[in-house]
Structure 1
Amino acid sequence: MAASVFASELYSRLFPTGDAGRLFSDSAEVRAMLLVEGALAKVQGEMGLIPVESAAFIHRASMEIPLDPGGLAQATGTNGVTVPGLVAAFRKALEAPEHAQYVHWGATSQDISDTAQMLRLRQFLALLETNLRKTLHQLGLLAHTHADLPMPGRTYGQHATPITFGATAAHWGAPLLDLLTDLPALRDGVLWVSLSGAAGTGAAFGPRAAELRAEFAKALNLKDPQRTWHADRGPILALCGWLTRLCAALGKMAEDTILLTQTGISEVTLGASGGSSTMPQKQNPVQPSAIVALARQAIGLNAILQDAGLHRQDRDGAAWFTEWLTLPQLCLSAASALEQATTITATLTPNPAAMSSALSGTLDLIHAEALSFRLAEHLPRPEAQAAIKTLCKQAIAENTPLSDLARAAYPDLTLDDVFDPAHQTGQAPAEARAFAAATQNLIS
């Protein structure tokens, strides 16, 4: 088994990450850190903190000079962080000692590493938003098209009362819509620069430290947190929480899809399915199963990251390393789950015949609640419930539809609508249409 399925030649098609995978590579990390060093020098030059000529030279070189991540490995292993080796290699590559001395002026490794991470996370969230909008749009189409299509509602794995497939799609999508709504606030509360120096005091920057951080944030189009956050991992934890909610919502949809495609139910059909090495009849729900696995991984990784948010003193190497080990995997789990959900929702189709058969094939017992409420119009509610419960037991014992027994027992009651699924879906069609309307304009 590969150490990471996302980078594996064997498993990458089972757990695809799309363009997000490129953001969590050594080359992407090094490139982002160089851009941060260049932006820092540019702003410091504009503020007169370092020579303007040196600032311009460093900024231009940060966008042009490539550094081999492999060449930084030894220094990273020794120092426990990439930045010292990167700064040394960058200064050497500049071949201009008079300018190179101003690289990384006053910053600490964590400032560069955390800010570079935020540059990549900004791109990552943009990619997720695109796929999230696609998935919501496709769920909205399903909700609109099938708003009135009755199907069994199920609780504890048992038939409950009729709902509609459109409402099911809406219920899958509602938490995703909440997540999309939360994105602007998440970006404001997460995508921060870090520029606080060795122990978080900004002492090396002098009295203009706060001004420098603000200008640094503007240069990179990130937020100025207006404080030090070296040992406060709140932004990371907030992001992890959002990603875990995303995976949980997608995992719920995938779990339902697996159940709805299983033999004996077959109420939905997937656009693609997997085969067995020995059983020709198998059409396995591979993509939903992958999403469920990814959701479980995300939930576990989030627990590790929340624990790693407990830092000691002004910087905690062990907690920081734990974040490096787990955050990329959590991000890629979310990206892969959403990548597959986008495909599934574009090709998922309901099976109306199977839904209708399920509604009528259980002796009409799914309508027991509606029947009890109809009877409660003439009897106290507890008595009505008890009477219908007795009829349900009789229906099972005699293998006779509840509708036949009810009509015989209560010939004066109007019962046609009670046993018509189209009349017993409550607010499900309205919920489906409301969700469809909310997702109508999410993609151009």
Structure 2
Amino acid sequence: MASNNDVFQNPLNSRYCSIEMKYLFSPRNRFSTWRQLWVYLAESERSLGIDVSDVGLAQMKEHIRIEDDEFETAAIEEKRRRHDVMAHVHTYGLKAPAAAGKIHFGATSCYVTDNADLIFLRDALNLILPKLAGVVQRLSKFAIAYRDLPCLGYTHGQPAQLVTVGKRASLWITDLLDDLHNLEYVRERLLSKFRGVKGATGTQASFLEIFKGDHDKVKSLDKLVTEAAGFHAAEISTSQTYSRKIDTDVVHALSSFGSTCERTGGDIRHLAMFKELEEPFEADQIGSSAMAYKRNPMRSERLCSLGRKLRNFSADAEQTYASQWLERSLDDSAIRRIVLPESFLCADACLILLNNVSSGMVVNKAVIQHRIDQELPFMATENVIMAMGELGYSRQEVHEEIRVLSHQAGAVVKQEGKPNDLLDRIRATKYFQPIIPELQALIDPAAFTGRSAQIVQELVETKVAAALEKYAGVLASVKDAELNV
């Protein structure tokens, strides 16, 4: 017998994801959910006049959770019949013999497979959303704590006007709030798009037959099953399956979140490269097997890697929807078995990483100040020009004087590797003596960050507060995530 160590293990399952998300898409939960759906169907049909015995229904309810020994029974039957749903109808019937004739009564396979998938999508979104809210909460605390700390901004990868550490984090928060909104939106729409009981081609013909042509009873059955499953409403018109457009919309929202993960992780990696910001680094952690001094941003690199994978699931979902034929084709089955679970597992892994990183980011203030000192004198030249202009000096003359000194200081920095001495050159130049008393004030970093601190405060007090209000109960108990590897 081969052990798990002898066969491929999906790293999402073996390395990166939470227990609760792995269970949600597990075989036990899948087939137990099928059984629960068969109970909903039998109960609802019984309430509308179909003969389902008390004993049979009790047996069905007693064995909703599929046990370990039943998996082998179902596997043998599926190999024989080449039909997974019928294999499980047979297996369930062995546990509920008094109801064997009423399990799956009037239904097609997609009654359980598709309705179960919609339940999994809903429940997976319910797991994802509080975790995402927790990340927004952590990053907001970080942004508030560093809303006043000036740092270099970067445009085109080059030093630009100063921002603050908190203001930069507010960019990540803003995008994550959009992801939170997108995922909440698709979850809310999902609750009104249950497949319900629609029959082999979406016409409900089999149910109309068992209810002797009573359209109202067929509609009532659809409504009863839908409400039992915890959905607001069923889609009015489906084919044999629910529209794979639903998968597309859900995976789009997850993929969009994936792009946020890669973008945010990339920012953290760049800042780690500059030594301005570091992700958590544990006491015994090894950054490199060869270079013992290194502190590689492995969490953010993994975040970028998984985020990249997540955003690429979108194309799979789109192409699967577009390739469906008429009332259905089965070329969607195998790919959906991969895409739907893995997209949520991937998102779950990204959220664990984001939680972990945002819970312990290290801000290297001395490095940040050093980088400011290297660049700020050049940025302050405009303030010097304006100050001289207010004293009546020609802007053109001042510009030329400062241009010459700036190029001299730039050569010292670039060609000699020495500190930026532009301010010393200004102080030593007679032309600029009228503004020397106020020169230090003209280069105060805080004067170059604009409304950064106020923007962070406003964002957190308005948009973040409103978005997180509904998660207040769960956020109070959210813990810092630990990585398995």
Is TM > 0.5 for Structure 1 vs Structure 2? yes
1:269-288 equivalences in 2 (<5 Å): 269-272=279-282, 274-288=286-300
The one of 351, 354, 360 equivalent to 2:373 is 360
Contact kept in structure 2, 1:16 and 1:340, CA below 8 Å: no
What's the counterpart of residue 429 of structure 1? 453
Secondary structure class of the residue paired with 1:222 = coil
Taking a change above 3 Å as real, the CA distance of residues 314 and 426 of structure 1, as seen in their structure-2 partners, is same
Taking a change above 3 Å as real, the CA distance of residues 203 and 415 of structure 1, as seen in their structure-2 partners, is farther
CA distance in 2, matches of 1:304, 1:375: 62
- Residue type at the aligned position of 2:410: I
Contact kept in structure 2, 1:42 and 1:55, CA below 8 Å: no
1:293-442 equivalences in 2 (<5 Å): 293-310=305-322, 311-362=324-375, 364-367=377-380, 392-399=406-413, 401-403=421-423, 416-438=440-462, 439=464, 442=472
Contact kept in structure 2, 1:365 and 1:401, CA below 8 Å: no
Taking a change above 3 Å as real, the CA distance of residues 22 and 281 of structure 1, as seen in their structure-2 partners, is same
The offset of 1:417, in angstroms, is 4.6
Identity of aligned residues (%): 22
- Residue type at the aligned position of 2:195: S
CA distance in 1, matches of 2:106, 2:389: 77
CA distance in 1, matches of 2:48, 2:100: 18
CA distance in 2, matches of 1:178, 1:170: 13
Please say which of residues 208-217 and 141-150 is displaced more in the overlay: 208-217
Secondary structure class of the residue paired with 1:7 = helix
Taking a change above 3 Å as real, the CA distance of residues 423 and 53 of structure 1, as seen in their structure-2 partners, is same
| RMSD of aligned alpha carbons | 3.2
What's the counterpart of residue 219 of structure 2? 210
The offset of 1:29, in angstroms, is 1.0
What's the counterpart of residue 278 of structure 2? 268
TM-score, normalising length: structure 2: 0.80
Taking a change above 3 Å as real, the CA distance of residues 197 and 360 of structure 1, as seen in their structure-2 partners, is same
What's the counterpart of residue 26 of structure 1? 27
Contact kept in structure 1, 2:183 and 2:250, CA below 8 Å: no
The offset of 1:72, in angstroms, is 2.9
CA distance in 2, matches of 1:40, 1:380: 87
CA distance in 2, matches of 1:380, 1:108: 86
Structure number with larger C-alpha Rg: 2
The offset of 1:353, in angstroms, is 1.2
1:107-118 equivalences in 2 (<5 Å): 107-118=107-118
What's the counterpart of residue 42 of structure 2? 41
Taking a change above 3 Å as real, the CA distance of residues 198 and 250 of structure 1, as seen in their structure-2 partners, is same
Taking a change above 3 Å as real, the CA distance of residues 112 and 369 of structure 1, as seen in their structure-2 partners, is farther
What's the counterpart of residue 197 of structure 1? 199
CA distance in 1, matches of 2:78, 2:379: 64
CA distance in 1, matches of 2:229, 2:44: 10
Contact kept in structure 2, 1:267 and 1:350, CA below 8 Å: yes
Contact kept in structure 1, 2:32 and 2:66, CA below 8 Å: no
The offset of 1:55, in angstroms, is 6.9
Contact kept in structure 2, 1:75 and 1:85, CA below 8 Å: yes
Unaligned runs of 5+ residues in structure 1 are none
Aligned pairs, how many?
Answer: 436
Taking a change above 3 Å as real, the CA distance of residues 387 and 172 of structure 1, as seen in their structure-2 partners, is farther
Contact kept in structure 2, 1:46 and 1:52, CA below 8 Å: no
Contact kept in structure 2, 1:254 and 1:291, CA below 8 Å: yes
Contact kept in structure 2, 1:42 and 1:59, CA below 8 Å: no
CA distance in 1, matches of 2:320, 2:54: 42
Unaligned runs of 5+ residues in structure 2 are 1-6, 209-214, 414-419, 477-485
CA distance in 2, matches of 1:306, 1:381: 59
Q: Deviations over 1:141-184 (max 9, x none)?
A: 11111110111111222111111111122211112122223444
